[in-house]
Structure 1
Amino acid sequence: MSLSSATLLNSVALSPDSPPLLHADVGSDPVGWTAGHRAALRSVVAEHGCVLVRGLGLSDPAGAETVFRRLTDSLMADREPFAPRRTYAEGVYSATKWPTDQPMCQHHELSYALEFPGLLLFACLEAPAQGGATPVADAEAVLGSLPVPLVERFEREGWMLTRTYHEEIGASVAEAFGTDDRATVERYCRAQGIEFAWQHDGSLRTRQRRAAVLRHPVTGRRCWFNQIAFLNEWTMEPEVREYLVDVYGADALPFNTRFGNGDPVGADIVAAINEAYDAHVKREPWRSGDLLLVDNIRTAHGREPFEGPREVLAGLGDPVRPADLAPSAGGRAA
């Protein structure tokens, strides 16, 4: 039986420290329940920016994919990932491979790409023994708590992502672009406003400039939308950064971020951004079978360190393209 959006909204538990939580009574048919409550669930996400649905009993990739497809009209391929991930189906992936003892800082999925998901769908098939939550943060609130001069500069200039694709660390060229054919990679880069240069050792170096602040295509609200802190060298553990600089050089790190004019983003700025995120983070430990829906523009997400097996699938839904967005300072293209 389907609940109205208003009824479902009233059933959502709100807490200052946790994402909105909805306990679902699905019986033995999570797919049918999800399909019947699609409009209501989407209304909850529109109202709150995210929702954690508990009690769906999701336990395998096929079931998770089916639920994902009931909740979005379109799933998009992951392009330009910064780390490898397993592909279960078009638009359905494993969690990004990242050291389990290190956090993934708050960020917005594919905010460095011209096309990115508007809706993220996370299915927890196996919850870790300890840690491993997917914390979220309101991007409008984060924007409002950042120093005004810093925001104004990023709005003026945008931000720049620089990458050097090495075979032995991070995503390879083939993993990032779906091919290692140079002509195909170059066509993609030109179409996406990415500057590129092949190095003497065969590696690929790229840079792309994107907007740091977007207006939400539905609400019109300004949101801090980027991966400036997460992909910056100063977010790395000190010993990791020192090792990578020693091996590859400061200008050939697997990824790094800069101001839109190419100036470096210093450790103090990265710390200020991460502090703003931390002030607005909400977290809830995963339970096996949970489903988390996230408005990717309005809400940032991360991943906490964990112990034990953890299996969380990610769906990239509702592709957002440049034509869907209002013009903003800093631009979306290089």
Structure 2
Amino acid sequence: MTEYDRFEAFTFAGQQETARLGLDNNKLFPLALKPAEGWNPTLDESIQTIKKLSESGEIFDRLREHGGAVLIRGLPIKTPQEYSDVAHAFGFPAHEEVGRPPLRTVLAKNIKTANEGPPELPIWPHNEYGWSRINPSWLTFACLHTPESGGETPIISSLGLAAALKERAPEFVEKLLHKGVKYVYRYGLEDVKSNTGTSVLGAYGQHVKPGDDKEVVRQKIEKEVRRHSNRFEWHEDGSLSVTHIVPIIRKHEDTGLPTWFGNLTSAWGRSKYHGATEPPYRGDDDSYHPPPEYGDGTPIEKEYLDLALSLAESLQVLVKWQLGDIVLIDNYAVMHSRSPWTGRRTVLAGLWDDSRKRISDYPQSENFLNSN
């Protein structure tokens, strides 16, 4: 009996066939596992089983076959520390965030609130830090409190979206390959009520100390910004704009397939929701939400922005949380978003790196990458 046999697969509404997503098999996305009948694991048994499955590579083989995500249900995870212990069993090194749009609070080792934006605000499909040159390879989420209603975490195949766009709008895919995408994030002096509501200091002030004068503060912030972008601008009101030009159609090394890796759909969804699709792009929440552009600064056609968002939403699978659920996501193969909710909802996140290079770029992207 292998460690994998201690779990059994189950199905839930909305799972999708991987053949539809461009994979060369016909399994269900995501993989869903629960303890096999007769096994009621303790926390330590859960940790040791996941650790053995990870060290053998078996869980990652299964995850890849199923499109890049696995939901494990039925483990006795009730606290941030217990979630941290289980998540570390996958064996990943922790990811260091550079430039942090959402508000997060650390609750245990390498475990944070997923996003502290208001519950009535949705979050649209995105890859974590898909707008940056520095991004995590893997994500984990766990549920410690289920809401009264809503609050699902939709997950979306980036592989499926890349395939669908190539079929529906091949000219758009070619433009993206050759130009990349330009994102602009503007950070104010104060945190605001928004799902991108961190401030200048919240995003880049990790090394600022009490007593630092204004010039020292600015130097420390700029040093942190330059870790992933040399394009930034200070404004008269003290806010800071940081520009990122990055590829979005990339090669997923584990499958060899094209993948959509970015935040174009979330940025566009947010711009539309907040009424910020036209200059100066300041929305009804008092935050800036400029829509993404091509990497050369030309506007992305709105019909393409709408198509990418609608296709992403058509591919989503809703994870309806139960207490103790943990989800492992390949950030380079799967996007995620968030549905509004009522009541108390606690879903915590972990961001993780990998020693392997798991994503690369196509030759068509070399020109704009070399110029940036």
Same fold (TM over 0.5): yes
Using the alignment, how far apart are the partners of 2:355 and 2:179 within structure 1? 22
Runs of 5+ unmatched residues, structure 2:
16-29, 209-216
Q: Is the 8 A contact 2:98 2:224 kept in 1?
A: no
Q: How does 1:122-201 map to 2 (within 5 A)?
A: 122-146=141-165, 147-168=169-190, 169=192, 170-177=197-204, 178-180=206-208, 181-201=217-237
Task: Please report the TM-score for the alignment, with normalisation by the length of structure 2.
Answer: 0.79
1:91 deviates by: 3.3
Larger Rg: 2
Please name the residue that 1:232 is paired with: 268
Q: Does 1:45 align with 2:67?
A: no
Matches within 5 A, 1:64-143: 64-89=83-108, 91-143=110-162
Does the alignment pair 1:216 with 2:252? yes
Cα deviation for residue 41 of structure 1 reads 2.6
Matched, 1:327 2:361: yes
Q: Distance in 2 between matches of 1:61 and 1:280?
A: 30
Using the size of structure 1 for normalisation, the TM-score is 0.88
Please name the residue that 1:31 is paired with. Answer: 47
* Mapped contact 1:162–1:205 kept (Cα < 8 A): yes
The 2-side partners of 1:247 and 1:54 are apart by 39
Q: Is 1:3 the counterpart of 2:3 in the alignment?
A: yes
Once residues 91 and 300 of structure 2 are traced to their aligned partners in structure 1, the CA distance between those partners, rounded to angstroms, is: 36
Matched, 1:17 2:28: no
Match of 2:78 among 59, 69, 85: 59
Matched residue count: 328
Cα separation, 1, equivalents of 2:107 and 2:262 = 26
> Among residues 280, 290, 295, which one is paired with 1:260 in the alignment?
295
SS in 1 for 2:351: strand
* 8 Å Cα contact 1:118-1:320 kept in structure 2: no
Cα offset for 1:129?
1.5
Aligned to 2:23: none
**Residue type at the aligned position of 1:327:** D
Paired with 2:227 and 2:98, the residues of 1 have a C-alpha distance of 13
Q: Provide closer, same or farther for how the CA distance between residues 188 and 320 of structure 1 changes in structure 2, counting only shifts above 3 A.
A: farther
Equivalent of 1:304 in 306, 316, 339: 339
What corresponds to 2:313 in structure 1?
278
The CA deviation string for residues 273-302 of structure 1, in whole angstroms up to 9 with x for no partner, is 111112211113100100011111111111
Deviation track 1:89-126 (CA, whole Å, cap 9, x = no partner) reads 45321011223123211110011222211111101111
CA-to-partner distance for each residue in 1:138-187, whole Å, 9 max, x for gaps? 11111111211111111110001101111233211121122452212222
Identity of aligned residues (%): 23
Q: Distance in 2 between matches of 1:66 and 1:138?
A: 27
Partners in 1 of 2:132 and 2:40 — Cα distance?
36
* Alpha carbons of structure 1 residues 283 and 261: separation in structure 2 relative to 1, 3 Å: same
SS at match of 1:102: coil
Three-state SS of the structure 1 residue aligned to 2:173 is helix
- Tell me which of the two structures has the higher relative contact order, counting C-alpha pairs closer than 8 angstroms and 6 or more residues apart: 1
Q: Does 1:204 align with 2:229?
A: no
Q: Secondary structure at the match of 2:153?
A: coil
| Contact 1:77/1:90, CA 8 A, preserved across alignment | no
Residue 238 of structure 2 aligns with an amino acid whose one-letter code is: G
Paired letter, 1:167:
L
Residue segments in structure 1 that go unaligned for 5+ positions in a row: none
Q: Distance in 2 between matches of 1:256 and 1:77?
A: 26
> CA shift at 1:8, angstroms?
7.2
Shift of 1:272: 0.8
Going from structure 1 to structure 2, the CA distance change for 1:235 and 1:272 (only over 3 Å counts) comes to farther
**TM-aligned CA distance change 1:182 to 1:75, over 3 Å:** same
Change (3 A) 1:167 1:244: farther
| Code of the aligned partner of 1:102 | L
